[in-house]
Homo-oligomer: A and B are copies of this chain.
């Protein structure tokens, strides 16, 4: 079912980008490895098997860049744009990514 798959994608991207936008501005080594591990596990457990396989290949090609909040959020925007490209969706403008995913929480 394509609608349910799209709803799941929407929900997952929202969480994904919001996590990155709340990542510390100057993360510790510990915080870096926590987020890195989270991202790879997310790619493993993502419920759409085909999507997960493809996303794992993208992670090999574009490993998480987690040196700062800004760098991480832009990396996340770019990898989502790679998925958009494959699905022939428009490219998203990453220049205000932190503001776009400010959850105020």
Contact = CB atoms under 8 A, between A and B. Distances in A.
Is chain A's interface secondary structure helix, strand, loop, or mixed overall?
A: helix
B47 A5 contact: no
Copies of chain A in the complex: 2
Contacts of A7: 14
Interface residues of A, number: 33
24 contacts: A1-B103, A1-B104, A1-B105, A4-B103, A8-B15, A8-B105, A10-B11, A11-B11, A11-B14, A15-B15, A15-B47, A18-B47, A19-B47, A22-B47, A34-B44, A34-B45, A37-B37, A38-B38, A38-B44, A38-B45, A48-B105, A49-B105, A50-B105, A51-B105
Interface of A: 1, 4-5, 7-8, 10-12, 14-15, 18-19, 21-23, 34-35, 37-38, 41-42, 44-51, 102-105
